[in-house]
Structure 1
């Protein structure tokens, strides 16, 4: 059975530094008819569980620890028995949302995850947060970038734990070096490709997003 990537859009609030913003999040499910992993379980464990159906959940993977990307993670893990995985450098951000529960495991650069016979490579792409990661699936020609790279530019770096020069380095050195036809699946909004985003790197630097 072929591996596919499905999107579930959930809605809620992003809160940080005393502010709160309404957001729509892309939750990604990678797998086949038998098993899957979930990327960025946002806001609504019921909607994500319904989309999974009777598939076995192998892991709950968080691209970073802003609350709107992790707030449904414990509930989803409790329902399914799947481990919650996060990069170690985002453990402090995680604890702001879930002080009573730690992730079940920590990710590092170049770690390989597997689901439905497909390998997914962890790329450490800090800047939006210290532990932000992207997930590259070469066989699928796809990278899931969380809030590191969007259609039209880098993720936000104007709040705590973020750093603009670092996110630019991550995008330049880790994402725009992927094959040009790689599809970029983002944490919010529409998808894009490496080809579409690469020509704009110098413009982003000049604008100082």
Structure 2
């Protein structure tokens, strides 16, 4: 019998644009894969379905998870779903944002708070963390010592709340109540830029400006 390989995290940076409220910006996005040699979970397939598919290879895709529905996080999701047959999962509160980008293609399933996803024997728990977007979620994988935060928490502070569908007090409350309660050594893998840790961000709470996009 072949020993089961441990679950691993893979990372891809893709480039494109983010558009909202009449503006468009060039952005680099983090795409995350969690899995092993046989199956993977894809988090936030951005901009380039071909590049994400190349990283997946011939592995089975358990699900395509969107941490929120800003267009730069979901623009490649339908194409990747068509190629892999995997369902697209999104918190229902972000459906109005999703429909702006994909009016003719609904997500395949919801991401309610507390929902658990399993890939390669590893469990990830959905944490609803509104503020950057109404349906923003994070995925906490205690066995991997990591949380995937999308644009809710970055290295240096919370995601931006200066555009439609966002609210700064709400995102701070989400981070305080749902993320800063995690073990301080938990690695924060973000939607853009460098990773950080829960313990590294907690002391800065009082001085956090709104940032990111």
Taking structure 1 as the reference length, what is the TM-score of the superposition?
A: 0.98
Corresponding residue to 2:192 among 182, 188, 191: 188
- Counterpart Cα distance in 2 of 1:71 and 1:146: 15
Does the residue aligned with 1:50 lie in a helix, a strand or coil? helix
Q: Does 1:18 align with 2:22?
A: yes
The residue aligned with 1:172 is 176
> Is 1:36 paired with 2:33?
no
* Aligned: 1:131 with 2:135: yes
Match for residue 103 of structure 2 among 99, 106, 112: 99
Rounded Cα–Cα distance in structure 2 between residues aligned with 1:187 and 1:120: 17
The RMSD of aligned alpha carbons is 0.8
Q: Tell me which residue corresponds to 2:145.
A: 141
Asked if 1 retains the 8 angstrom alpha-carbon contact of 2:161 and 2:210, the reply is no
Cα distance, 1:208 vs structure 2 = 6.0
Q: Give 2:119's aligned residue.
A: 115
Task: Return the alpha-carbon distance in structure 1 between the equivalents of residues 210 and 197 of structure 2.
Answer: 22
Note the residue ranges of structure 2 that are not aligned, 5 or more in a row: none
1:202 Cα shift?
1.0
Structure 1, gaps ≥5 residues long: none
Distance 2:77 2:86 in 1: 10
Offset, 1:79: 0.4
**1:55 corresponds to which of 59, 70, 73:** 59
| Runs of 4+ with deviation above 4 angstroms | none
Q: Deviations over 1:76-101 (max 9, x none)?
A: 00001000000000000000000000
C-alpha distance in structure 2 between counterparts of 1:182 and 1:129, whole Å = 23
Counterpart contact for 2:129–2:171, Cα < 8 Å: yes
TM-score (norm 2): 0.96
**Structure 2 CA distance, aligned partners of 1:122 and 1:16?**
26
What is the Cα deviation at residue 203 of structure 1? Answer: 1.1
